[in-house]
């Protein structure tokens, strides 16, 4: 039976898993219910090993093929939701106030579970498939935690692959590119300290709101005047905080918060250096002080070239070459699958979610119609990377 036909038969069952996870969203590492469901399913399928608690609350399943072969391929899905109040009105909408699966991790988990069920049944490959269910993609660095917990070495993973849905791309189409696909997502804080006072006599104060505003404007010169125009850099100040809410008080201090997005380490290094210099010297010009705290968070998601070709070839054999974009534009969003790609070759691919609300929007929902295609991609990837004799 062709792979996609088998997943068409399983479609209703996998959709039920997905909607159950959607109704019961959990955040970051606190995914105990979801991880328990995943582990129970993997044991029910007959996986050779099921290990819980990798990277705090991650789950790993090991499926050995029936053919001889020593290769080990990792397949990763994320499990966590977001702190958003759902507005879909769907029958399977979140039952947990203030939490929802607004990024499709419920669908990612369900599709990889579907593939694990199929691979455990058929074992039509030579080698070992390692299915990875990761917590805390949304800001917690669960990928980093699983890597630091020795996952790659413990299970002998040689290559690793990830998949994410993409609203706006036709349902079931694929998009990928070699090299940088998603940006490094760093965080920063700038603390500006001056001298507070009465708003009516500003000459007796050192106005931190003015200083901070000048810093916000000056930071934009980094991308426009310190970087080669063909390179990419985003510096966004997203929060401007003072300790007062009064209309007539100049605050002693201001805290700026934001994010920096880059693809290359040299650009990342330059941005950090120039941000510190600008903050310090702009503040000094006004008689204030400013200090930068630059927090390197998720590194860039960089697909290795050979593995990108393998992934795209598999996708094309499932849906046709005309439905696979092999050179999709890179995105400035971040993704902590990057931590896995930092230590093993592999590729991250997008699967179209159709004309739906954007991820991280309260009206977003994963498109269950793409489940057979996504499951087929995972299964066929294993069978083609490690063909049975």
Residue 1 has pLDDT above 50, yes or no: no
Same domain? 240 vs 366: no
pLDDT per residue as tens digits for the range 305-335:
999 999 999 999 999 999 999 999 999 999 9
Same domain assignment for residues 19 and 60: yes
For residues 267 and 372, state if they share a domain: no
Q: Which of 202, 289, 283 is nearest to 248 (CA)?
A: 202
Residue with tokens 């980094």: 222
Point out the domain boundary residue: 247, 274, 298.
298
Residue matched to tokens 């490959």: 125
71: left (phi over 0), alpha (psi -120 to 50) or beta: beta
**Boundary residue ending a domain (250, 283, 298):** 298
Instruction: Choose the final residue of a domain: 235, 267, 298.
Output: 298
**Domain range for 288:** 184-298
The verdict on 7 and 154 lying in the same domain is: yes
Please tell me the predicted confidence (pLDDT) of residue 329: 96
Q: What is the tens place of the pLDDT at every residue in 27-63?
A: 999 999 999 999 999 999 999 999 999 999 999 999 9
Give per-residue pLDDT as tens, 208-265: 999 999 999 999 999 999 999 999 999 999 999 998 889 999 999 999 999 999 999 9
For residue 38, give Cα distances in angstroms to 44, 77, 112, 382, 384.
10, 11, 10, 20, 25
Number of structural domains the chain divides into: 2
Task: List, in sequence order, every beta strand (DSSP E) within the chain.
Answer: 49-54, 58-64, 67-78, 126-134, 159-167, 174-175, 179-182, 184-193, 197-198, 233-242, 249-250, 253-262, 289-298, 301-303, 324-325, 346-354
My answer on whether 282 and 329 are in the same domain is no
Tell me if 188 sits within 8 A of 375, measured CB to CB: no
Residue 105 sits at the vertex; the CA angle it makes with 104 and 110, to the nearest 5 degrees, is: 100
Beta bridge partners, 163, equal: 349
For residue 136, pLDDT beyond 60: yes
Mean pLDDT of 69-85: 95
Q: What is the CATH number of the domain that holds 217?
A: 3.30.70.360
Look up the CATH number of the domain holding residue 94.
Answer: 3.40.630.10
pLDDT tier, 294 (very low <50, low <70, confident <90, very high otherwise): very high
Length of the chain measured in residues: 389
Each residue of 172-181: pLDDT tens digit? 999 999 999 9
């Amino acid at each position: 039976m062709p792979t996609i036909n088998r997943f068409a038969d399983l479609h209703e069952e996998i959709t039920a898993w997905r909607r159950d996870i959607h109704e019961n969203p959990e955040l970051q590492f606190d995914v105990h219910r979801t991880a328990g469901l995943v582990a129970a399913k993997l044991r029910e399928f007959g996986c050779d090993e099921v290990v819980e608690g990798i990277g705090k609350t991650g789950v790993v399943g090991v499926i050995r093929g029936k053919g001889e072969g020593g290769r080990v391929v990792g397949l990763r899905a994320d499990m966590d939701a977001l702190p958003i109040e759902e507005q879909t009105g769907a029958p399977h909408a979140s039952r947990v106030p203030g939490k929802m699966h607004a990024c499709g991790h419920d669908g990612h988990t369900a599709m990889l579970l579907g593939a694990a069920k199929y691979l455990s049944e058929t074992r039509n490959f030579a080698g070992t498939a390692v299915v990875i269910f990761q917590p805390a993609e949304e800001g917690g660095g669960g990928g980093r935690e699983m890597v630091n917990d020795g996952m790659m070495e413990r299970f002998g993973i040689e290559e690793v692959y990830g998949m994410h849905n993409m609203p706006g791309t036709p349902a079931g189409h694929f998009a990928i590119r070699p090299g940088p696909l998603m940006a490094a997502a760093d965080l920063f804080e700038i603390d500006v300290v001056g001298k507070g006072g009465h708003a009516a006599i500003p000459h007796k104060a050192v106005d931190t709101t003015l200083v901070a505003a000048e810093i916000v404007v000056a930071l934009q010169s980094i991308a426009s005047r310190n970087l080669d125009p063909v390179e990419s850099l985003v510096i966004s100040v997203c929060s401007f905080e003072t300790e007062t809410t009064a209309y007539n008080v100049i605050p002693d201090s201001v805290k700026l918060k934001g994010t920096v997005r880059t693809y290359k380490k040299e650009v990342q290094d330059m941005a950090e250096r120039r941000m510190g210099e600008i903050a310090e010297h702009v503040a000094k010009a006004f008689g204030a002080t400013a200090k930068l705290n630059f927090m390197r968070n998720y590194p860039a998601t960089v697909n290795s070239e050979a593995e990108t070709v393998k992934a795209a070839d598999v996708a094309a054999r499932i849906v046709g070459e005309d439905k696979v974009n092999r050179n999709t534009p890179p995105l400035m969003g971040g993704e902590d699958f990057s931590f896995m790609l930092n230590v093993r070759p592999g590729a991250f691919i997008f699967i179209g979610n159709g004309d739906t609300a954007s991820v991280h929007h309260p009206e977003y929902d994963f498109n269950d119609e793409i489940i057979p295609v996504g499951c087929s991609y995972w299964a066929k990837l294993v069978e083609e990377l490690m063909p049975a004799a």
